[in-house]
Amino acid sequence: MPSLTRFLRSAVPLAAVLAGTAACAPVVDVDPAADAQNPACAEVMVALPPEVAEHSQRETNSQATSAWGDPSKVVLRCGVEVPGPTTDACVSVNDIDWVLSEGDTAWTATTYGREPAVEVLFDPEQVASSTVLVQLGDPVSKIDQTRKCISISDQLDLPADG
């Protein structure tokens, strides 16, 4: 399960990253994704909003990454591994499908059916998932969707109620 600290190179504990520290660097140190150089990521990055969940965008030191809040409340990486079929929760927010994984201190939302995939990490105690996913939906839509989330009921020929 990915965590926000896995992508922030700092040795600062996650609680300090999300809750605040007195000595915050102006540039957020984020590990780039394996496919960060994908040209589709550039389209996403130029479309990102200057604010997410009322937190201002900050500069990062890696290609195809962004962060909002000081300290970071939301971290985005484009070019992460494309998720395959999964039993993790998959939600559709404004026609963008996201696979959600709940961690101990951060949630991960990864686009489903788009290549390259975009990953967003956030603490749901600090920012609402609905706000984050709505505000990042338009930029993510710059990557064409090739698959959609489905549920088991979509695959079964269930009898109609009657």
pLDDT in tens, 84-138: 988 899 999 999 999 999 998 899 999 999 999 999 999 999 999 999 999 999 9
Helix (H), strand (E), coil (C) string for the chain: CCCHHHHECCCCCHHHHHHCCCCCCCCECECCCCCCCCHHHHHHHHHCCCEECCEEEECECCCCEEEECCCCCEEEEEEECCCCCCCCEEEEECCEEEEEEECCCCEEEEECCECCEEEEEECCCCCCHHHHHHHHHHHHCCCCECCCCCCHHHHCCCCCCC
pLDDT band with cut points at 50, 70 and 90 for residue 26: confident
Q: Which of 6-10, 29-33, 53-57, 151-155 has the lowest mean pLDDT?
A: 6-10
Residue 150 has pLDDT above 90, yes or no: no
